[in-house]
């Protein structure tokens, strides 16, 4: 019989099954890599006893980006709020049950808020390749759902027509194709004790590595994220949250923007949770409901690298392309008198001393 375990939802977070690779660091000794790689039974034993319990806590830590296609900029984010899992020792599978909310941007609906519930069965495995550990979650089957519930729709015409084909199908493509599609691709986690974890949807085999906008050369910092996001005019993206676990640690951001200038605002998790909830449910755009810890304007064409000394805790990095907060606003152009310039933001988020 499958064993059922639960995890309390203590934070919005991500489809980041990423850091369960941390559970396998104890087998990083070269003397163990050969026997482990050669034995599927031993790998399942290690996963089921030491890795499976990490799935839900890691999924409930940070948001996962949503893309229209591989290597395209992120156009939204999904935040799991509740997570449980079942381990089936006979079939050597793990089923993850997820409920969460999120937002995305796509024409003509513009900003869309949604909730989603699904159960996905993965067939996990891993391989030790030198100093790297590759962890895979291959899709075995969709157990339930995905049940996608459309919430706020910014475009009032599409909002009224949300349940009328073809407009309903157009709006729901965010859930039925993008969110569900991302989850069913499987995932690869590449873990290195010095460099941190790297996560990508889809299956990569050693020595393949995920594609990123920035090359990481400092192996004394732990990498949270290294990606490109697209933030349309009058929109935001809530990156993270990222965890500062020790008073001696700091958040390092390397970031650049093409297109419109944006504001970068770092807020603590309680402030970011409330601000994000208002954003994805269509409340009026406004100031953050709490203090901004750090940040500032970011102009196009420059690469900004900064160290943010923050107290231990979880922090969102908010990319703001609105006139409602921050110091810059979407520029007005002849082609778009209401302001319509998108910002394409490349960023690298790390933690270090």
Q: Name the pairing type of β-strands 76-88 and 64-66.
A: antiparallel
Query: Which 3 state secondary structure label does DSSP give 114?
Result: strand
**pLDDT confidence of residue 57:** 80
pLDDT score, position 190: 75
Conformational region of residue 288, where left means phi above 0, alpha means psi within -120 to 50, and beta covers everything else: beta
Contacts of 301 (CB under 8 A, 6+ apart): 256, 258
**β-strands 343-352, 250-259 pairing:** antiparallel
- Measured CA to CA, the distance from residue 46 to residue 42 in angstroms comes to 6
Give the pLDDT confidence score for residue 7 in this predicted structure. Answer: 29
Dist CA 292 CA 273 (whole Å): 13
The reported pLDDT for the residue numbered 247 is 92
pLDDT at 175: 58
- Look up residue 100 and give its two tokens: 């969460």
pLDDT given at position 123: 84
Q: Nearest-CA neighbor of 231 among 162, 113, 318, 304?
A: 318
pLDDT of residue 237: 98
pLDDT value for 28: 43
> Could you tell me the mean pLDDT of each successive run of 10 residues in the chain, 353 residues long?
32 33 42 64 74 77 80 88 92 90 87 88 81 80 81 79 52 58 68 66 74 64 88 95 91 95 97 97 96 95 93 96 91 54 93 86
What pLDDT is attached to residue 201? 62
pTM of the model: 0.78
In angstroms and rounded to an integer, the radius of gyration of the C-alpha atoms of the chain is 20
């Amino acid at each position: 019989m499958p064993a059922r375990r639960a995890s309390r939802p203590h934070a919005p977070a991500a489809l980041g099954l990423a850091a369960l690779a941390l559970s396998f660091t104890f087998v990083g000794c070269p003397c163990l890599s050969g026997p482990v790689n050669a034995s599927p039974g031993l790998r399942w034993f290690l996963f089921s006893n030491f890795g499976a319990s990490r799935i839900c806590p890691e999924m409930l830590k940070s948001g996962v980006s949503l893309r229209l296609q591989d290597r395209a900029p992120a156009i939204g984010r999904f935040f799991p709020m509740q997570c449980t899992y079942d381990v089936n020792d006979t079939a050597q599978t793990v089923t993850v049950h997820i409920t969460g909310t999120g937002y995305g941007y796509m024409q003509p609906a513009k900003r869309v808020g949604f909730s989603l519930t699904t159960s996905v069965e993965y067939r996990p495995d891993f391989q030790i390749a030198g100093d790297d550990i590759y962890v895979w979650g291959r899709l075995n089957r969709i157990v339930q759902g995905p049940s996608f519930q459309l919430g706020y729709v910014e475009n009032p015409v599409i909002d009224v027509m949300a349940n009328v084909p073809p407009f309903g199908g157009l709006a729901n493509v965010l859930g039925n194709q993008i969110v569900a599609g991302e989850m069913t691709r499987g995932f690869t986690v590449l873990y290195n004790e010095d460099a941190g974890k790297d996560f990508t949807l889809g299956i990569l085999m050693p020595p393949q590595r995920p594609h990123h906008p920035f090359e990481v050369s400092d192996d004394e910092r732990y990498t949270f994220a290294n990606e490109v996001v697209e933030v349309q005019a009058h929109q935001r993206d809530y990156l993270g949250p990222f965890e500062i676990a020790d008073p001696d640690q700091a958040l390092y951001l390397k970031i650049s923007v093409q297109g419109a200038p944006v504001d970068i605002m770092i807020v603590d998790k309680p402030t970011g949770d409330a601000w994000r909830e208002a954003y994805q449910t269509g409340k009026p755009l406004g100031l953050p409901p709490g203090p901004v810890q750090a940040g500032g304007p970011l102009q196009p064409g420059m690469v900004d690298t900064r160290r943010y000394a923050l107290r231990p805790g979880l922090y969102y990095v908010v990319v703001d392309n609105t006139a409602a907060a921050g110091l810059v606003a979407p520029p007005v152009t002849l082609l778009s008198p209401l302001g319509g310039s998108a910002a394409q933001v490349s960023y690298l988020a790390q933690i270090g001393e």
